[in-house]
């Protein structure tokens, strides 16, 4: 399979035609080899229009959703970004090519180790990864210019809002256990926050102290 051709088709059909306009986001997803972030047996499906299982009851997000959430962060290349829910590491790789530094948290150790290996194989040395409860953020490294949450939460955790820098953007899926909507929160210069809602989405649950419990 010609993965470069598959990536180009993915970008054109799934991103550009659906309204993704940020050229930096488009460029990142055109260059990052998504297939190395899935099991080898599923590499031929890596550029398909949908999420894929990555083990541990987790998924790698649909390419369009990765692009949309990244675009909502409005990254310029100078930011310090926090990602909660490393998963496969693909979203962290996208962020790493668009920001100065990335801090990513994964609660499931086997996934974190696989993600670290994939990120290292691409030479993305500006990604810091820790195994912990992502719903608590990474307070000792705050504030962050942007925070991206890749799992669905029942509400926007206040502790994450508190870790935003002035002018910082937080993008998070919020809703029930199966269906959510993307929410973007921006911290104003006076410390107040404003939020707006984007499209419907469906993510795995955000498990942890400030998210869902592990019970079904």
Catalytic residues: 61
Taking alpha carbons only, the member of 106, 98, 112 closest to residue 67 is 98
43, with CB counted inside 10 A (0-12, 13-18, 19+), is: middle
Residues, the chain: 216
Taking alpha carbons only, the member of 32, 28, 25, 26 closest to residue 4 is 32
Please say whether the beta carbons of 131 and 101 come within 8 A.
no
């Amino acid at each position: 399979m010609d993965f470069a051709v598959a990536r180009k088709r993915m970008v054109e059909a799934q991103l550009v035609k659906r309204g993704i306009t940020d050229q930096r986001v488009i460029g990142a997803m055109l260059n990052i080899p998504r297939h190395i972030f899935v099991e080898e047996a599923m590499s031929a499906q890596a550029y398909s229009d949908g999420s894929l299982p990555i083990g541990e009851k987790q998924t790698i997000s649909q390419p369009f959703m990765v692009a949309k959430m990244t675009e909502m962060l409005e990254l310029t290349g100078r930011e310090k970004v926090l990602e909660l829910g490393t998963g496969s590491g693909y979203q962290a790789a996208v962020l790493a090519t668009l920001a100065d530094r990335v801090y990513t948290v994964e609660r499931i150790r086997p996934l974190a180790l696989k993600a670290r290996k994939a990120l290292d194989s691409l030479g993305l040395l500006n990604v810091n990864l820790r195994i912990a409860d992502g719903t608590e953020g990474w307070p000792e490294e705050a504030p962050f210019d942007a925070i991206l949450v890749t799992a669905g939460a029942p509400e926007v955790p206040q502790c994450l809002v508190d870790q935003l820098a002035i002018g910082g953007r937080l993008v998070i899926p919020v809703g029930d256990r199966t269906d959510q909507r993307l929410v973007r929160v921006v911290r104003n210069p006076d410390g107040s926050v404003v939020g707006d809602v984007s499209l419907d989405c469906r993510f795995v649950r955000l498990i942890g102290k400030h998210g869902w419990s592990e019970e079904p």
